């Protein structure tokens, strides 16, 4: 059976042949990058917050990554430490096309001198421009189309309170929190149109989900994010 991209990369990891720098492209038909990344990581660990994995996202207030971005400071600090459990540390920078030119030039040396125990993925849409000097030092990969993947839908029909959401989130079987949140938002928006009571329930649940997603973008631990359901 032909291996998919995730399996190929995992095999390279096992063979100690995984590169240090990849550009991970996607288009409108691709699996959502966050879902793909989380699915890829299940080959290495079942932990949703592994100490050897760092996911970098822009904040809502940022149009681009800058030299003084908190996420970039976190990234540089992360590189200074050796892996704790895995043989490599994994870093995923989402919307890497939004790394400013000044920052790209400053990071160029970092990219060139990545330690052998670091594997960095720059995640960018197909039509995005990325600094040529960075692209030339990367191995380019393509996230496959959604039609070639099989991701389960979650049943939200019995969810009435934030605590119900928490219970569902804790049950396991949810491969990707971002997919969970997106499916929940779609469900509750539809629910809100059915009655005034449903609108109120949906409004409260959507507010909690919004805050939960904001916390997740800052790489807070899953436990600390779950406390938002009781605030």
Between CA 120 and CA 127, with CA 121 as vertex, the angle to 5 degrees is: 150
Q: Which residues constitute the domain of residue 206?
A: 162-230
Inter-residue contact 44 to 10 (CB < 8 Å): yes
97 and 204 assigned to the same domain: no
pLDDT digits (tens, 9 = 90+) for 128-138: 888 888 888 89
pLDDT digits (tens, 9 = 90+) for 121-159: 999 998 888 888 888 889 999 998 876 555 555 666 677
Q: Which helix (DSSP H) or strand (DSSP E) does residue 47 occupy?
A: none
Beta-strand (E) ranges in the chain?
Answer: 21-26, 53-56, 89-94, 118-125, 139-142
Give the per-residue pLDDT at 170: 63
Confidence category of residue 35, pLDDT binned at 50, 70, 90: confident
What radius of gyration, in Å, describes the C-alpha atoms of the chain? 19
| Closest C-alpha among 120, 64, 112 to residue 92 | 120
137 and 171 assigned to the same domain: no
111 and 167 assigned to the same domain: no
Q: How deeply is 107 buried, as exposed, middle or buried, from its count of CB atoms within 10 A (0-12, 13-18, 19+)?
A: buried
195 and 120 assigned to the same domain: no
Give the whole-angstrom CA distance, residue 177 versus residue 198: 24
Q: Above 60 in pLDDT, residue 26?
A: yes
For residues 69-85, average pLDDT: 94
Give the per-residue pLDDT at 32: 86
Inter-residue contact 186 to 199 (CB < 8 Å): no
pTM score above 0.75: no
Could you tell me if residue 154 is inside a domain?
Answer: no
């Amino acid at each position: 059976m032909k291996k998919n991209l995730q399996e190929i990369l995992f095999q390279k990891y096992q063979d100690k042949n995984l590169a240090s720098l990849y550009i991970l492209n996607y288009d409108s038909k691709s699996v959502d990058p966050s879902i793909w990344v989380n699915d890829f990581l299940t080959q290495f660990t079942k932990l949703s917050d592994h100490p050897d994995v760092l996911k970098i996202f822009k904040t809502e207030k940022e149009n681009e990554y800058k030299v003084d971005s908190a996420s970039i400071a976190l990234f540089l600090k992360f590189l200074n430490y050796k892996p704790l459990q895995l043989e490599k540390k994994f870093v995923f920078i989402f919307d890497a096309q939004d790394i400013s030119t000044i920052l790209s030039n400053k990071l160029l040396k970092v990219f060139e001198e990545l330690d052998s125990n670091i594997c960095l993925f720059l995640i960018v849409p197909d039509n995005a421009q990325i600094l040529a000097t960075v692209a030339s030092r990367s191995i380019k990969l393509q996230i496959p189309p959604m039609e070639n993947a099989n991701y389960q839908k979650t049943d939200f029909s019995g969810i009435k309170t934030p605590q119900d959401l928490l219970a569902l989130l804790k049950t396991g079987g949810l491969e990707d929190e971002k997919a969970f949140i997106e499916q929940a938002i779609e469900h509750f928006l539809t629910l809100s149109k059915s009655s005034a009571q449903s609108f109120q329930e949906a409004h409260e649940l959507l507010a909690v989900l919004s805050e939960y997603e904001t916390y997740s973008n800052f790489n807070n631990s899953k436990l600390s994010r779950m406390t938002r359901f009781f605030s």
